């Protein structure tokens, strides 16, 4: 009997947050991909085919490639219907469970080689959220040796959608964020690492479930703070609140305009997350998970954050908004030194960079001091900086220096207070 590797992947939910990156990874690896979707807006590629389908329907016959051995074809089931996670108790899950059952049965009937289901780290029989219970119920359907569920951790990176989109919005919305149990460990995974993991899973011989998440957990609060720094260049203070209050707040977000609506399900899902041992799974898949700080540092948003940082520091040093060429120079000089992470700045400084004068660190080796040294070097070697420094009116120039020294003297005690702030 011919076994793997898989040459053709049939994907449901291929236009979603994870799906898009997965389809891209599959196409790059040389697989043929058939997208089961309601629309066909995603992309054009010679190895990509669209077949009309929606959750609840069985696997359409034309999705299966007749030129390829069915055993070299796999279904990767990513679709999930959030609106019809109906009711509570044992009857819930309607469309998701029934839809998956229809898919699995047809896949078995057609003799396809592999069925991979995107489950969740929160999948448990007694999960506090419906989502976790539904995912668990579906996992129970997949009991053949060629069927496997991927329990996916906290996915981040890429377009700001889904849970990642919500968390990145929340981390940037205010300097203070009330959060349930910020010490709870989460296991993040970068979206492309996940896509690669799912792809490897199609050709692996794992059974039951496999954890796709960092084997090293971090605190949820730290994860949010990393998002705030990398994506927004700001600091975040997280205040732990009891779950009941959080659920109330969730209900409130639905009625308050202009702020992101937080689904109770998401909060319950996070609150119900338990540590998932998955180091062995990652090893057997040959998947290496990097820590989220270094992954996020290479996201386009991280470069934007660095440009923003350059704008703040150069404005502070020059007392004028810097030309964009100076910002690019700033970011380039950080990259040359291997620095890709922005320093988290208080929001007040973002709005009013001159406030830094009251909180600038004394220690020349502090990270902020080094970046300020770069900003000073860029300012003094640029025509814009030169024009500012060589103002024609000598008296005005010298009065400004005198005032600057006086204000700095006043600022000394306050700078002392801020000494620990930047470390």
Partner 1 sequence: MFYFADFGHNKKRSFVHDSDAIIVGSGPAGLSAAWPLVEAGLKVLMIDAGSGDAPFSDFPSGDIGKFRLRASNWKTRYGTDLSLLGLQGDYSPKLMTPLAEMVTGKFAELNGLRAQGFVPIGSMGSGGLSNIWGALSVVFNDADLSEFPFDRAELDKHYANIIRRIGLSFGGTIAGTNTDPATPLGRAAEKVFSIHAKIPLDKDFVLERASNAVITQDRGDRSACKNCGLCLWGCSHRSIYNSVFELKELRQYPNFDFQPFTKAIKLGSNENLNFVEARGPAQSRIFSAPIIILAAGTIATTSLVARKIGYLGRPIRLLSNPAAAIAFVIPRLIGSDLPDHSFSLGQLTYEMPASTSSCFGVIYGADTLPLDIFASRIPLSRPTALRLSRALAPALLLATCYVPGKFSANRLYVSASDETPNVLIDGNQTASAKREIFSAGRSLSSKMRRRGAFALPGSLTISAPGTDGHYAGTLPMGGKGDLATSLYGELNASKGIYIADGASFSSLPAKHCTLTIMANADRIGRHLISKIAMRAQTKRNLSV
Q: Does 280 bind partner 1 (CB under 8 A)?
A: no
Q: Does 348 bind partner 1 (CB under 8 A)?
A: no
**Region for residue 307 given its phi and psi (left: phi exceeds 0; alpha: psi -120 to 50; beta: otherwise):** alpha
Q: Does 360 bind partner 1 (CB under 8 A)?
A: yes
Cβ 314 to partner 1, closest distance in Å?
10
Cβ 327 to partner 1, closest distance in Å?
13
Distance between CA atoms of 268 and 252, rounded to whole angstroms?
16
Distance between CA atoms of 152 and 150, rounded to whole angstroms?
6
Q: Does 346 bind partner 1 (CB under 8 A)?
A: no
Q: What are phi and psi of 222, to 5 degrees?
A: -65, -40
* Closer residue to partner 1 (CB): 10 or 342: 342
Is the CB of residue 209 less than 8 Å from the CB of residue 151? yes
Is the CB of residue 22 less than 8 Å from the CB of residue 198? yes
What Å distances lie between residue 389 and 23, 319, 383, CA to CA? 54, 10, 10
The only residue of 101, 183, 319, 419 in contact with partner 1, by rule CB under 8 A: 319
* Closer residue to partner 1 (CB): 219 or 370: 370
User: With 0-12 CB in 10 A as exposed, 13-18 as middle and 19+ as buried, what is 64?
Assistant: buried
Q: Does 88 bind partner 1 (CB under 8 A)?
A: no
Q: Does 408 bind partner 1 (CB under 8 A)?
A: yes
Omega before residue 332 within 30° of 0, cis: no
Q: Does 362 bind partner 1 (CB under 8 A)?
A: yes
Rounded to the nearest 10 degrees, what angle do helices 94-110 and 130-141 cross at?
Answer: 20
Q: Give the count of alpha carbons within 13 A of 416, CB side only.
A: 4
Q: Does 393 bind partner 1 (CB under 8 A)?
A: no
Q: Does 154 bind partner 1 (CB under 8 A)?
A: no
Distance between CA atoms of 40 and 105, rounded to whole angstroms?
25
The only residue of 235, 377, 418, 422 in contact with partner 1, by rule CB under 8 A: 377
Q: Does 123 bind partner 1 (CB under 8 A)?
A: no
Cβ 209 to partner 1, closest distance in Å?
49
Q: How many residues bind partner 1 (CB under 8 A)?
A: 43
Nearest to residue 118, comparing CAs of 52, 36, 7, 202? 202
What Å distances lie between residue 255 and 169, 243, 248, CA to CA? 18, 19, 11
Stretch of 46-54, 253-261, 276-284, 400-408 contacting partner 1, by CB under 8 A: 400-408
Q: Does 36 bind partner 1 (CB under 8 A)?
A: no
Cβ 158 to partner 1, closest distance in Å?
30
* Closer residue to partner 1 (CB): 31 or 379: 379
* Closer residue to partner 1 (CB): 101 or 328: 328
User: With 0-12 CB in 10 A as exposed, 13-18 as middle and 19+ as buried, what is 215?
Assistant: middle
Q: Does 142 bind partner 1 (CB under 8 A)?
A: no
Q: Does 333 bind partner 1 (CB under 8 A)?
A: yes
Q: Does 379 bind partner 1 (CB under 8 A)?
A: yes
Residue ranges in contact with partner 1 by CB under 8 A: 316-319, 325, 329, 332-333, 336-337, 354, 356-357, 360, 362, 364, 370, 372-383, 386-387, 389-390, 394, 397-398, 400-401, 404-405, 407-408, 411
């Amino acid at each position: 009997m011919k076994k793997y590797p898989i040459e053709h992947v049939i994907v449901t939910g291929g236009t979603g947050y994870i799906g898009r990156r997965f389809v891209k990874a599959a196409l790059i690896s040389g697989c043929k991909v058939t997208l089961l979707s309601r629309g066909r807006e995603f992309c054009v590629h010679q190895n990509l085919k669209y077949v009309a389908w929606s959750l609840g329907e069985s696997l359409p016959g034309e999705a299966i490639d007749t030129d390829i051995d069915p055993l070299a074809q796999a279904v990767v089931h990513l679709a999930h219907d959030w609106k019809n996670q109906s009711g509570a108790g044992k009857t819930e899950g309607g469309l998701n469970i029934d839809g998956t059952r229809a898919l699995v049965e047809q896949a078995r009937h057609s003799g396809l080689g592999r069925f991979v289901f995107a489950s969740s780290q929160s999948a448990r029989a007694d999960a506090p959220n419906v989502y976790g219970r539904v995912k668990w119920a579906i996992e129970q359907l997949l009991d053949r040796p060629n069927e496997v569920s991927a329990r996916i951790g906290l996915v981040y990176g890429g377009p700001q959608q889904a849970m990642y989109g919500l968390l990145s919005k929340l981390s940037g919305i205010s300097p203070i964020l009330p959060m349930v149990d910020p010490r709870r460990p989460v296991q993040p995974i970068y979206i492309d690492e996940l896509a690669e993991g799912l792809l490897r899973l199609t050709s692996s011989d794992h059974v039951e479930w496999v954890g796709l998440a960092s084997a090293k957990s971090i605190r949820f609060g730290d994860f949010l703070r990393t998002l705030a720094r990398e994506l927004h260049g700001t600091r975040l203070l997280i205040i732990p609140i009891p779950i009941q209050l959080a659920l109330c707040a969730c209900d409130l977000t639905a009625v308050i305009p202009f702020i992101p609506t937080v689904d109770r399900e998401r909060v319950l899902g996070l609150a119900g997350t338990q540590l998932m041992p998955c180091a062995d799974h990652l090893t057997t898949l040959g998947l290496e998970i990097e820590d989220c700080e270094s992954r996020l540092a290479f996201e386009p948003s991280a470069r934007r954050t660095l440009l923003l940082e350059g704008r703040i520091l150069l404005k502070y040093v020059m007392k004028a908004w810097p030309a964009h060429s100076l910002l690019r120079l700033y970011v380039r000089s950080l990259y040359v030194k291997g620095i890709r992470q922005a320093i988290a700045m208080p929001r007040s400084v973002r709005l009013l960079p001159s406030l830094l004068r009251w909180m600038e660190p004394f220690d020349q080796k502090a990270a902020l001091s080094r970046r300020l040294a770069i900003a000073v070097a860029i300012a003094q070697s640029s025509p814009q900086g030169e024009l500012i420094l060589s103002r024609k009116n000598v008296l005005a120039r010298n009065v400004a220096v005198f005032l600057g020294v006086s204000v700095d003297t006043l600022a000394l005690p306050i700078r002392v207070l801020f000494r620990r702030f930047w470390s």
